[in-house]
Amino acid sequence: MQRRKFVWTSLTALPFATIIPPPAWADRSPKGFKASAGEGRFHGHIELKGVNRNVLDVKVSGKDTNGDLAIFEQTSVSQGRGTPLHVHPGQDEVFTVLEGEYAFRVGDDRYRLKTGDSIFLPRQVPHAWTQVSARVRCW
């Protein structure tokens, strides 16, 4: 009896399958790509000249993932500076230090990251970072 119910439900739902739009990942390219060292995928080096002197190289763009993921390499020479305490309502962040040292605040916790260390910053949790060393690079 369960099999008959399953078949009936599947057949009656079939016409609706053509109405529902495909998931966002269906529009992604099935091809991989290489992001070369010292290069950004789009727009070359992006220089930020606000509070921090940073250069960003976009390695994986939201264009590549329909807005699901972005990865960039950041190089900064703004010792003693960083970001104010802020929140991302819909995005998690991950930092991996490639060179140098950072101080992070995540909620009420404080962390010191050196070359090779990584940190996860969950969405909706206030966080900030400060560049400790003269030069830093991170993903």
Sequence ranges of the domains in the chain: 38-138
End-to-end, the C-alpha distance of the chain in Å comes to: 55
pLDDT tens figures, 31-65: 899 988 888 887 788 888 777 788 889 999 888 88
Q: pLDDT value at position 69?
A: 85
CATH number of 38-138: 2.60.120.10
CA distances from 45 to 33, 42, 130, 133 (A): 18, 8, 22, 22
pLDDT tens figures, 73-97: 999 989 999 999 999 998 999 999 9
Please give the single-letter amino acid code of residue 93: E
Q: For 103-121, what is the mean pLDDT?
A: 98
Strand 118-121 with 93-99, pairing = antiparallel
Q: pLDDT value at position 23?
A: 57
Q: pLDDT value at position 7?
A: 54
Please report, rounded to a whole number, the percentage of residues in the chain having pLDDT higher than 70. Answer: 81
CA distances from 3 to 7, 8, 9, 14, 52 (A): 6, 9, 10, 17, 63
Q: pLDDT value at position 93?
A: 93
Please report, rounded to a whole number, the percentage of residues in the chain having pLDDT higher than 90. Answer: 47
